[in-house]
Amino acid sequence: MNTRQIFSIIVLALGLTAAILPNKRNDSFTLNEEELLQEMLLGKNYVSTDELADLLISGDPSIQIIDVRPAEEFKDPIRGAINIPIDSLFSDTYGYLFDQLVMKNIIYSENDQLATQVWMITKQLGYKNNYLLKGGLNAWESTILDPETPSQSASVSEWDIYRRRMAARQYFTGAKALPKVDVTPILPIQGRKKKKVQGGCS
């Protein structure tokens, strides 16, 4: 997302905060647009898909994955995710999940937009331990469930990331591992040495 998109989401989120939670807003915690924008641009509120995959595979008990898509769109969620649609966010049933200090909430939606609005509302309310899955479900599917094979000329680190993602894909989908790909670096062609001409004019 660029700065303009982030700022538009901030304005939407501030409006949603006032509409959804008119009596719960606590001005001692309220952040203004510039503070929210700064925090978004620093990226400290994000968890990458690779980080989330590692946390799930290691069985980290401290994370809680929250899918904020509408109930009718809650299909093929990330393993272990609970669905809390945006219109039910701070109901008596679910509100306490966002305002606690024990679990690390990782919030996602189809892409970044809806989840970002939810995260901003939690920030406005002064809630801690709420993070965004960068890129949302779309990024999860394209990086973990169906990672793109690097080119033959890709760096060793790119191939390492790809192998980790393929292992995660196998863990989450049960898919068989792909055959091993030879990633021997392509070395530059060495120039041939010119042979000395034998003989010549006498």
Structural domains of the chain, count: 2
185 is a domain residue: no
12 is a domain residue: yes
pLDDT in tens, 108-136: 999 888 898 888 888 888 888 999 999 99
Instruction: Give the ranges where the chain is alpha helix by DSSP (H).
Output: 3-20, 33-42, 49-57, 95-98, 113-124, 136-140, 156-173
Q: Which phi and psi angles does 199 have, rounded to 5°?
A: 75, -150
Burial (0-12, 13-18, 19+ Cβ within 10 Å), 136? buried
Q: Residues 114, 30: one domain?
A: yes
- Range(s) of the domain holding residue 164: 146-173
Q: Residues 113, 18: one domain?
A: yes
HSE (side-chain half, CA atoms, 13 Å) at 129: 15
Q: Residue 49's CB: how many other CB atoms inside 10 A?
A: 25
Q: Residues 69, 162: one domain?
A: no
pLDDT in tens, 138-185: 999 999 999 999 998 999 999 999 999 999 999 999 877 555 555 555
- Using a cut of 0.85, tell me whether the model's pTM lies above it: no
Q: Residues 46, 131: one domain?
A: yes
CA distance 157 to 189: 23
